[in-house]
Structure 1
């Protein structure tokens, strides 16, 4: 525990413990401590837990707490060691004023079981307050005619402390005119005063300056002083005068109302009312002075009454009159110049003028976009403004004159990347703290035709059935232009070229605005299997830009050609071929062969042969090969057979619907010696130059089976890798075609992959087997009839090419 004197004698701890213990027994749980005021934070007060008989370990579980009704933050208990210590500054005068006794009452509460203890902590006074006089200066006006021993009362000092610390003694500075009259303790009624010891002479000594000192009884001693100004009064023969004829005062703008500008002090050598001065504004001062300032008539203190604004008025000229109260009154004059100092109270102002918007994206570096001017009503550094720009790219600010800037282009623009910029211009002054303002500017980038129209892909594949209606829509091309407005307005046209002996525009046309491609006339697969051309897309910019896209239009075959019988063995429907057959031939002997071709392709060109029954000869000993067209005997001929037989052979393709042709073969049965020698050769199926065409249909069947299987796998792989996502359109019915080889169109494998019909409203697609012209490497296109090449393909197949009219076929053999 810290003693009031600042030392801690070791022998007093035991005595203090005994006193506290006795107080505990007598006061039923009430403790008394003492602490000096102004003790520092953490200063020891007492071991409160130990003195209350509480164990340290049970302070927290029993919710130990100390409550002060006055201010709970002055004292605090450390729950770890049970010590009561000073938590914050204790000011005895603030707590108890001048009361002789001052203590802090604590209510200590613990739970489980509930107990309440009362603790009083006495706050000891220390000499921390000096004597204080009501004023630092006391003016005494004494007429020079006052007699000796005249007493002039003075107001003593006061001390906020108590006891000896507040016991005051007074002394007066040496003076031949006055002495100090101090009352004794039993003369409390009689105040402190000055006693005149020598007659005053105003002309010799117009005023006296005395110093009155008050000393308290504390240790160490503290003192307080007051200046005593004794003015000797005289008759009113002098006017009040100021120390200066002109005063200059500097004060910041926006100063608070009531702030003192200056306190004038006029002097009058006269005494009493003759020297009593009253201050006022001269009658000639301007109204704005009266609106902004006021003057105390008695003290001459000029204070602010209205808001001072440097930007409105920075100098006030005030004429002041000082008038005494003599008879007659006399006046003195002075001038007060009040200069208003600037404060940084005005935010910079930003003005945007001469905007050159929008800005072309091909504008040159240094192009002026806008003119910017800034202004700040403040002065000096408070009015010095600097500007900055965000973001910095692709523009910058260039200072052209004081507080004038140009917004110029600093790097290249690209409207397709950024079509508009939101710029923020910040103006900041040089004040402390600085003020700033911002202005937003939206810079739009004008488009320049620097982007050509672009197609999604360089080439499209379109499938159209032949015999389409004129004007049929077969595809739509679409190009996108990254520019804007007319620069992005795309028009389409054909890139004219010759297709054979005709111009491309006689086959197709393209709509200039929509990009829709139309077939102007029916297309013929037999005439034109593939129509390849380019469509040009041009924008409307100046100069215009453009690009081309390639369209491959595959004309799909339809069954529009009937089988045609070959000469000279076929006489058509109007003639007949004549064959001589010996009666001695056995069963299976080939007596004739019907040959026919079909101008169509694929399934539509696959021919079959049927022998039509004859009503006149129900027992015809002949039959015809379904796919070979060979007429052979079905049994051994006998004498009962008619010598002449008229055979009607129906040739039919596999189109939808099927088209047919008929051939008439007249067979005459002769004796063995009458048959021509060529019959042996003819029965073998080889007749002169037609031997190269032997078994063509048989080879077709073999080719269909082998190549179709191989192409199914090839087309699936090819389609998945390259053409699975290829968009296209049909003319009469929308569909998503699959890119395939031109010669595969109409094949059996193609029919399995192409469920849709292009430019057709017919029923479901064919699923039957059909002949086709397979896709082969370019080097195979030069193989002539009779040549044979080995191709290293997937299964080691051997290909034998042959040419059938205008189509080239390849027979794949194991």
Structure 2
């Protein structure tokens, strides 16, 4: 164009305009001429040296190092002005976050920050800069500047709550989950990476674990024993991971309440109490208060007292919540000179016993008794010094049988001692005479109050007087354990191995552990450690492998992937042996369930159902489940009517059971049900229900068929009626 401008300074243009009217004389036209003369002028717009740039600002920057742009004019005109275009959204400088200042030395302009930036609010800006030359008719050019805001650590990490509360029962195993706290930081990258630290106050027996990005708190056995049922707080301090001298932080408190478990038995202050009581003491008189201590708290430490034996004739009673023993019936030294009461203290789970020896003090309350009330006789006169009558005083039964102490306690008995074996020989004596001296023995009770390895026997000796008097003694028989019990699983294990998971994988026996443990009802010497193994035919099995850990536990490993549709469960025979002499070996069965994965699509099904009504009456009835065949049986399906919703039917959306309402009129009902499991495409099953009216003759002539006894369904039952 410049060359052509040099050759010519004017132009002429002819313009011919014609219409399209075809009637009469045809189309009409007109011709015009336009003459143009060119004159030289500065008509070139400036050009920006930075047509599109990317700049970075720190988010806290206010007067940082200027970012410079420059535009030049092709004609060499240095007079260029700059303007920053306003935008419509925050990312385009609305409101004003940046401004321009000209640099007159080199004709450039600097972009400066007008107010503090916030990375968390706006992370980047797109600015449009207008450069314009100074002329009669100014021309302008535009360029786009992209500003990326870089994050700085200007946000303090914070916990989602300032105080957390949790509870854990004492005695919880190591690794028991207590609570989880969470924190957040609005910064990103390393500035937003939060780690939690904890401080323990006063408790030295607590173990805290930190896992990944979350904070988990655990407790140990020592906490359950020594810090039982006390409230403590742990101070959790959150720090951002930065190489700064002062790290922003937040603080939260976790209050852990340790709930009491009834794991302590009550213990009497004394194993034997002894008290003397006058035989003429009033009924209701308190003779003694026994007390037991329980280290548990609250309801677990609430004790109840009870007299379990030795209370002949119900002479004594005890306040159940206090332990005060009082007289309930009048005492009689001549009937019973002493009592040996066995008092029980129980907290509902644990028990302890104490002996209370009550000595009845004799009082002179019994007058002599003549054999007859009146004596008759004759006497010869003048006799001197000759006896006239012989008066007799009858002996009353005023002595209680007393047991002679054994020279040594009975020898321990093996628990398999033959029936009828003699274990001890006891003898009692009575100071009375005649029938009052004859004694009959019996065992009042046989209780296992001292544990499964000892028996506590109360022996009674009763004379034949009128009234009869009874003495008692206590004998303790210790049993020697025989290894007659094999190991058992510690709990009812219900392990689940999910299908389609490639082996090997450890089998979880419960929600928290992969360890197989055993217990033994025998004594400790006939119990642990236990040894685990599989039958010989399973040692080379491709299904499961058992590893004896050598510490009384074992682990089971699934060696391959399983398919529940082929086999739903495995019955694994596990051989367990104890450490008795000789050892006892038993075989226990562990049932391993194959967990179902939704790996099969359900299909549409069809079902016909026949229902009978009589005289238009029929109760509300469950007809069965919508048929949608699916090899998977653990799917969570939902059911819904598709299209037309029948009036006389209800559908359980969760179970898929179809219910017909009462008194539905006879006829046929066809409808569809959409079955969905959230994974596979939905299937639409069809249902046809036929409601038929039974005539009276069918009811009157009907018969009943019942199966007698327990019948196991194994094949179809064909009957000819």
**What TM-score results when the alignment is normalised by the length of structure 2?**
0.42
In terms of fraction of residues, the more strand-rich structure is 2
**What TM-score results when the alignment is normalised by the length of structure 1?**
0.37
In terms of fraction of residues, the more helix-rich structure is 1
